[in-house]
Amino acid sequence: MLLQVSNLRTYFKTRSSLVKAVDDISFELDQGQTLSIVGESGSGKTAAALSLMRLIPGSAQLSGKIMFEDQDIVTMGRKALFGLRGDKIAMVFQDPMTALNPVLTIGEQLIEPYLIHRKMNRKQAFNLGIALLQKVRIQDAEKRMHCYPHELSGGMRQRVMIAMAIALHPPLIIADEPTTALDVSIAAELLELLKSITREQGSALLLITHNLGIVARYADKVMIMYAGKIVEKASKVNLYQKPQHPYTQGLLASVPKISADTGKKLTPIPGNPPDLATPPKGCAFYDRCPFKITQCGRNVPKLTKLNDDHEVACFAKEAGR
C-alpha cells in the first residue's frame, strides 16, 4: 500500500461559519493503481487532493492521518514536506495558465526539480528538461524551453505540467481535472499520454474528474464524493455494473449513451448541492434523493461494506429501497 488516508478533515473557517470541505474521509491507494475521485463542483475533490500535499492555506484546519511510505504528512515538518513535494508526490494542476509562473520561461520552471531535489548543475538539468518535453511529445523541445507560458497553447501548457510532474519519477501523481478547457481530441491524447507514462514508471495515479467517460477508460477504483464526504467506493466494474448510491445512479443516468434512443431526454439530478457553510442535519443528498426515508433526514449515513470491492453510505439502500 502506497497511500493510506484515515479520517481526513479539511475545514475552512469564515467569519460566520466553519466550511467542512472534506469531512472525515478514508481511502487507500496501492502502488501502480489508478484511483479516480468523482463528484460535482464543490464536492471536495480538489480540497482532498491539495490536503494530501498540505497545499491548503495555513488558516485551514487539517486533521486525520495521511500515511505515505510510513510517514504521516499531516504531522510532517516543513523540511520533510518540502522534500516530499515534487520528488515523492507530484501534481498536475487544473489550470496550467495559473499554475505556471508567467514571468519565468518553461525551461526555468522545468529544471527546478532537478536543481532542488537532485542538486544537478544547470546544463545537466537543461538537457533533461529537453528530454522531458520530447517525452510528452512537444515539438521543437529546445526552442520551447526558452518560451514563456503565454506563448504556448493550452494543450502544450498542460503537457509541460505533466512533464514537470513526471520529472523525478514520483511514486504518486495527482491529476486534478487535467483536461479542463481542452478540446476532446487533445484531452484524450493527454490522458493516454499520462496513463502510459505512469504505467511505464510504475507510479500510482490519483485522477480527479467529473467525467465518467474518463473514469470508465482509465481508473481501477472509483470514489464518489458528495458534500465533502465519500458516498460510494468501488472497483470500476462494480460501480458501473451495480451502482448503489442514488447520487451515483443519478450521475450515470445523466451521461449520454450512444446506443440510447436519440429522442429520449437525459435524466438530470434535481436540485442543487447543499451549502457546506450550513450543511443539513442528515444525509447531504436528502433533498435531491428519490429514495429517501425518514432516517435520511435525521442522521448521517456511514460507509457500509457490501463486499470486498464495494462500499456505500445510504440508509435507503440498507432499507432495501
C-alpha cell of residue 157: 501548457
For the chain, how long is the longest CA-to-CA vector? Answer: 67
> Closest by alpha carbon to 174, among 20, 313, 252, 68?
68
The three-state secondary structure class of 245 is coil
Place of cell 453510505: 313
At residue 127, the pLDDT reads: 96
At residue 260, the pLDDT reads: 64
β pairing state of 204-209 and 304-307? unpaired
pLDDT tens for residues 73-94? 999 999 999 999 999 999 998 8
* Alpha-carbon distances of 180 from 14, 74, 218, 246, 255, rounded to whole Å: 29, 29, 16, 26, 18
Dist CA 61 CA 23 (whole Å): 11
Strand partners, 175: 92, 207
pTM for this prediction: 0.92
pLDDT tens for residues 35-78? 999 998 889 999 999 999 999 987 899 999 999 988 999 999 99
Q: Find all residues with CB under 8 Å of 281, minimum gap 6, and list them.
A: 297, 298
**How confident is the prediction for the chain on average, in pLDDT?**
91
Residue 133 has pLDDT above 90, yes or no: yes
User: Side-chain half-sphere of 32: how many Cα atoms within 13 Å?
Assistant: 4
| 134-138, 249-253, 257-261, 272-276: least confidently modelled range | 257-261
Q: What is the mean pLDDT of residues 121-127?
A: 96
Structural contact between residues 83 and 119, judged by C-beta atoms closer than 8 angstroms: no
Other Cβ atoms closer than 10 A to 302? 11
Could you tell me what percentage of the chain is helix, strand and coil, using 3-state DSSP and rounding each to the nearest 5?
A: 35, 25, 40
